Amino acid sequence: MSKLRAFREEITPFIRESWTMGWPMILIMFFHFTIGLADVYVAGFMGTEVLAAVGYVGQLYWTLMILATALSVGTVSMISQAYGAKSIEGVGNISANSLMMGCAISGALTVLSQIYSSEIIGVAGMPESIRPIAESFIRIFSFVLLPTYMMIITGGILRSSGRVRVAMVNSCLASITNVIGDFVLGFGWGPIPALGYTGIAWATAFGTSLGMVLNMAHIFSGPYRIRLSRLRKPMPTCIRNLVKLGVPSALQQTAWNAGTLVVYFLVARLQEGEITALAAMTAGVRIEAIIFLPVFALNMAAAVITGNRLGAGDPVGARSGARATATLCFSIIIIPATLMFIFAPQVSQWLTSDPSVYAEMTRYLRINMLGIPFMAIGISLAGALQGAGDTFGTMRIIFTGMWLVRIPLILTGIHILQAGAVGIWVAMTISMIIMCGLLILRFRGDKWIRASFDRKTKSMLWQACLKSGHTGQGG
């Protein structure tokens, strides 16, 4: 009982901080979710081919975003630490170098996507019936790769430098623009002609561009603004450290996405009931995505809180803040996970009228809900590790959990135990619990605390972005 009291006394002061950072992030995740929902809803009125193309191209498009999100992870880690150290120069210089990298990467991808759009569609293996539609989407989306990269990176800059509510408002306005654009541009309104399925792509383009402009307006103003002179003077060591933190994150996302595709492949090749299992999993994943919104939001909140504390020279506070965020994440997620477990039959019945899919979806949801509380703790702690700069350690754990645990367990369940789809769902849950255990073990150690310390220079990685070597106020 004394241990429980001590734990409560340790994290209680940090719960408010976690919630203050977390609730705007939850809303940001919700706004992003509504964009995808509106795209799919409007596409559904335009035919099966358009709906299939939207889903296919959406997955392909966000694959191109892996480098943006990876760069954002490194940026958030370094800026949150510089902000914790109250270094105006550090925040501005890291932001400038991150934007320069984002422009270079997205610019190259834009050119390649424009030139090789047909080849990209072909390599993706899209059915012939949707290729013309998908190619139109790719061409329009490629024009907004740069704004999308900038919006992702600037959003990370804002939330890691004490401006998370600004990022929330800008995300809300961009999402509203996108959703309204889906309907207005897709179906037409007054003098605006109906653009059909291309209207969905242009709505995304306008919404993303607006979000980028709004974010840019804030990062070029205020005390922690980017100075224009820094955009003309790249800092090689600063860029190197951003790459050092970002590359493991990119590899982690690639390993996870590739592993997920393998899981879909294995489900689709079950000896019997493969279509039923695939339909159940596809629908179940959509339901889980809603439940996961606060989990991934608090993952990002944990990264900022941990980085801020480490930048301020408070490793004890960094650890306590991470524990508080994990506790908050668990407390929030346990309610919807429990309700989903109880009402899985009703939810499944609402989504499908096929009796076999209904039964399989119910099993999928109930088995996976058992692992959700563990996942909540693991993902929030992963955010803390990334905020501390331990992106390599996190990558190893995610790779291990997916490729050395989940996929071998699924193969065992299918080919040795002959457990069918249920064996796959159980393997997914077990691997989730094991990944959580590995992240907890990593967190309980001390290596992640020192992950952002450069032994060669005897300084923090973010300090390589200082010209003066001064870490306090000023710039």
What's the whole-number mean pLDDT along residues 381-393? 95
Distances (CA, A) of 1 to 4, 6, 51, 129, 210: 5, 9, 55, 64, 53
Q: Quick check: 471 pLDDT over 60? A: no
Between vectors from CA 260 to CA 258 and to CA 261, what angle results, nearest 5°? 65
pLDDT confidence of residue 475? 39
What's the whole-number mean pLDDT along residues 319-347? 93
Token pair in block for residue 192: 């605006």
The residues, ordered by sequence, that sit 6+ positions from 450 with a Cβ below 8 Å of its Cβ are none
The closest alpha carbon to 75, from 319, 253, 236, 238, belongs to 238
Q: Are 303 and 162 in contact (CB under 8 A)?
A: no
What does pTM read for this prediction? 0.87
Alpha-carbon distance 10 to 26, whole Å?
24
The closest alpha carbon to 372, from 454, 303, 428, belongs to 428
Q: Quick check: 360 pLDDT over 90? A: no
pLDDT confidence of residue 114? 82
What's the whole-number mean pLDDT along residues 18-24? 89
Largest pairwise CA distance in the chain? 70
Alpha-carbon distance 33 to 177, whole Å?
14
Q: If you search the block for the tokens 């099966």, which residue do you land on?
A: 48
pLDDT confidence of residue 474? 41
Lowest model confidence (mean pLDDT) among 3-17, 30-44, 246-260, 415-429:
3-17
What's the whole-number mean pLDDT along residues 210-227? 92
pLDDT confidence of residue 272? 64
Alpha-carbon distance 26 to 124, whole Å?
32
Residue 468: pLDDT band with limits 50, 70, 90: low
Share of the chain above pLDDT 70, in %: 93
Q: Are 267 and 277 in contact (CB under 8 A)?
A: yes
3-state secondary structure the chain: CHHHHHHHHHHHHHHHHHHHHHHHHHHHHHHHHHHHHHHHHHHHCCCHHHHHHHHHHHHHHHHHCHHHHHHHHHHHHHHHHHHHCCCHHHHHHHHHHHHHHHHHHHHHHHHHHHHCHHHHHHHCCCCHHHHHHHHHHHHHHHHCHHHHHHHHHHHHHHHHCCCHHHHHHHHHHHHHHHHHHHHHHHHCECCECCCCHHHHHHHHHHHHHHHHHHHHHHHCCCCCCCCHHHHCCCCHHHHHHHHHHHHHHHHHHHHHHHHHHHHHHHHCCCCCCHHHHHHHHHHHHHHHHHHHHHHHHHHHHHHHHHHHHHHCCCHHHHHHHHHHHHHHHHHHHHHHHHHHHHCHHHHHHHHCCCHHHHHHHHHHHHHHHCCHHHHHHHHHHHHHHHHCCCHHHHHHHHHHHHHHHHHHHHHHHHHHCCCHHHHHHHHHHHHHHHHHHHHHHHHHCCHHHHCCEECCCCEEHHHHHCCCCCCCCCC
What length is written for the chain? 475
Residue 366: pLDDT band with limits 50, 70, 90: very high
Alpha-carbon distance 319 to 381, whole Å?
10
State whether the Cα torsion 463-466-471-475 is positive or negative: negative
Sorted by where each begins, the domain ranges of the chain are: 7-454
Q: Quick check: 125 pLDDT over 70? A: no
Q: What are phi and psi of 31, to 5 degrees?
A: -60, -45
Look over the chain and give the mean of its residue pLDDT values, rounded to a whole number.
87
Beta strand 453-454 with 459-460 is antiparallel
Q: What is the pLDDT of residues 269-317, one digit of tens each?
A: 776 666 777 778 877 887 888 888 899 999 999 999 999 999 999 999 9
Q: How many CB atoms lie within 10 A of CB 346?
A: 9
